[in-house]
Amino acid sequence: MAKIGILSCISNPARCSEIDVRAAAAYGHLAVIIEPENLLPQLNSLSLTDVLKVSFTRELRLKEAELEEVIRSRARLVVGPGVPEEHMRVLGARAEATIEVSEGKIMLSWKEKGERKTMEHQTRREDLEAYANTISILTACFMAKGEDAGPALRKAIGAAWDAWRYCEMTEYGCVPLLEAQRLIGYYRWEVLESLSRAYRFLVDNSNLILELKLVPQVGMNIAMSLPSKLVRDTSDVAAFPGRIVEVSGTLKTASPPQFGASRHLARAIIAIQRYHPEIRATLNVPYSKELIDAAKRADMVVSYYDRREEPEEVKAREGATIPWGIEEALRKIGYKRPDIVYHLGDIGKEPMINIFGESALEVVEKLIRIARIAKIFKSFESPDVQNLLF
Residue by residue, DSSP assigns 47-79 as -HHHHHHHHHHT-----HHHHHHHHHS--EEEE
Summary count for the chain: helices (H), strands (E): 14, 17
pLDDT in tens, 58-92: 334 556 665 666 566 556 777 777 776 776 776 66
pLDDT for the residue 23:
32
pTM surpassing 0.85? no
Q: What confidence category does residue 11 fall into, taking pLDDT thresholds of 50, 70 and 90?
A: very low
Position 95 scores a pLDDT of 78
User: Nearest-CA neighbor of 19 among 29, 33, 8, 31?
Assistant: 33
Q: What is the mean pLDDT of the chain?
A: 77
What pLDDT is recorded for position 71? 61
Q: Tell which wins on pLDDT, 88 or 274.
A: 274
Give the model's pLDDT for residue 55: 26
> 47 or 227: which carries more pLDDT confidence?
227
pLDDT tens-digit readout, 146-187? 788 899 888 888 877 766 665 555 444 454 444 455 566 778
Average pLDDT over residues 217-240: 93
Class of domain 182-389: alpha beta
Higher-pLDDT residue of 76, 311 = 311
Predicted local distance difference test score (pLDDT) of residue 77: 75
Q: Give the H/E segment covering residue 105.
A: strand 105-112
Of the ranges 46-50, 128-132, 335-339, 355-359, which one carries the lowest mean pLDDT score? 46-50
**Is residue 250 scored above 50 in pLDDT?**
yes
| Delimiting residues of CATH 3.40.225.10 domain(s) in the chain | 182-389
Element (H, E) at 197: helix 180-204
- List of residues 6+ apart from 320 with CB closer than 8 A: 314
For the chain, first and last CA: distance in Å?
85
Kindly write down the DSSP assignment for every residue of 139-156, as one continuous string.
HHHHHHTT--HHHHHHHH
Residue 206 pLDDT exceeds 80: yes
pLDDT band at 262 (very low <50, low <70, confident <90, very high): very high
For residue 26, name the pLDDT band (cuts at 50, 70, 90): very low
Orientation angle between helical segments 360-380 and 289-297, nearest 10 degrees = 100
What is the tens place of the pLDDT at every residue in 182-195?
A: 566 778 889 999 99
Mean pLDDT of 384-388: 48
Closest CA to 364 of 276, 286, 281: 281
Per the CB < 8 A criterion, the answer to whether 6 and 21 are in contact is yes
pLDDT at 40: 34
Taking residues 364-368, report their average pLDDT. Answer: 98
CB-based contacts of 220, cutoff 8 Å, min separation 6: 214, 243, 244, 245, 251, 283, 284, 285
pLDDT: which is higher, 261 or 178: 261
pLDDT at 87: 67
